[in-house]
Structure 1
């Protein structure tokens, strides 16, 4: 089938325009996360693709729990005994948000700030603990969120630089 040269040029322009529109949507438009129905307990900003409040993702407890939980028993330098910690793996949260970066900055309610390397999240097993020994953690006792590593299962994590990553009363994560 042969087209007139002006029609071929118009079809070519249309094809290029369609490609550019599809490409720019894929890159520029973030996916939308449902808005929290309960009290927000975590804000995530920075280089993420899934948002629900401007360019940030805001989560309530139910939204975080819906991502799936992991639990482990481990002692920490800040708690007594060997509690069982339960929460969403940080690697799962970052995957869910389409995070692209090398570092996560964690900020606590008391303005404590620490940084976690993205590449080690899955292998190190860090979780955003929401429960200790089956109970939600109140702000007065390191809650509502606490970055915890499985120290007793991975003795190589019992180092000062990893301990420094464990932010309790966590309120915000920023990916960069």
Structure 2
């Protein structure tokens, strides 16, 4: 009887810890290509969320076949949906500050990622995108699917060479 009570006490203590661990992001095993900061609830490096390619791919790859103002012809881009990244980090704000490797920053409303299939493209035509060709990450709107998005506002929000995202 005493043994079963001790086992129940240990289980009652360990189970909440296990549930807490289940809500944390794993650590990147490869080189981090994206850092998410700001109003987020899920982190893995201090108060930040770092992602390597494998972690981004694990969010689920979504494909957009589209023309863009910056590329010739139709391209097939693949990457996780922006809203899946927001869910993974527990984003609590309504604006993203998307920063490129060259320090360019664009404001992207979180509503864009919730209402459109915006992806964080990591591949173009089946190949991982190098920095010289929009990589490592390209915030991409489904332009051909929704031609209303092909205007100055959304082109400005389509940041390439993304290095970090701050949720505000």
Shorter-chain TM-score tier: 0.7 to 0.9
Answering whether residue 56 of structure 2 is matched by residue 60 of structure 1, we say no
Aligned residue number for residue 13 of structure 1: none
Taking the aligned partners of 2:44 and 2:87, their CA distance within structure 1 comes to 16
1:104 deviates by 0.5
**Normalising by structure 2, what TM-score?**
0.85
Bigger CA radius of gyration: 1
After TM superposition, give the deviation of residue 60 of structure 1 in Å: 0.3
Equivalent position of 2:162 in the other structure: 170
Instruction: Indicate the residue corresponding to 2:86 in structure 1.
Output: 94
Superposition deviation, residue 120 in structure 1? 2.3
**Matched residue, 1:38:** 30
Unmatched 5+ stretches in structure 1: 1-25
Q: Alpha-carbon deviation of 1:154? A: 0.2
Runs of 4+ in 1 over 4 A off after TM superposition: none
Q: What is the aligned-residue RMSD (CA, Å)?
A: 1.4
Paired position in structure 2 for 1:139:
131
In 1, the alpha carbon distance for the partners of 2:143 and 2:112 equals 14
Structure 2 residue 61 is the aligned partner of structure 1 residue 69: yes
Deviation of 1:32 after TM superposition, in Å, equals 2.5
Number of the residue aligned with 2:95:
103
1:119 CA displacement: 1.6
TM-score, normalising length: structure 1: 0.81
